[in-house]
Amino acid sequence: MSYLALKHLHMSFAALSGTLFLLRGILMLRRQDGVPAGKTMLDRSSHIIDTVLLASALTMVVWGAQYPFVVPWLTAKVIAVVAYIIVGAVALKRGKTKGIRAGAFVVALLIFGYIIKVALTKQVA
């Protein structure tokens, strides 16, 4: 597989991951309070999608010899991804109230947008 094909795979799975997060967040907002999310096909498929996304990212880092904590834009992206995972977990599972989950959902979407912006522009700010 070429680097360009790997990059396209990564971008496709990033779009798929973001779309799935958006869908899961909308479903969370529509769900009645007290009704557990359960283990739906959406929940299970997100693990597969995110695994491919992470594997493609790590492969691109090695093949491209651009490493976090060396390349500023990649460092910002990695830190933002960690923040996105934490805030996303609050939004979809860990938030105690629907208000907390809704607020975390909005913040996670903003972080996701920042990740995309950094990936496209290679600029931190």
Tell me what pLDDT residue 41 has: 80
**pLDDT, tens digit (0-9, with 9 covering 90-100), for 3-38:** 999 999 999 999 999 999 999 999 888 876 655 555
Q: How far apart are the first and last CA of the chain?
A: 32
For 68-116, give the DSSP string.
TTTSHHHHHHHHHHHHHHHHHHIIIII-SSHHHHHHHHHHHHHHHHHHH
Mean pLDDT over 102-125 rounds to: 96
- Give the pLDDT score at 22: 95
Structure confidence by residue, pLDDT tens digits, 47-69: 899 999 999 999 999 998 988 88
Exposure letters 75-87 (e unless 16+ CB within 10 A, then b): ebbbbbbeebeeb
Taking only the tens place, the pLDDT of each residue in 69-82 is 899 999 999 999 99
pTM of the model: 0.87
* Sequence ranges of the domains in the chain: 3-121
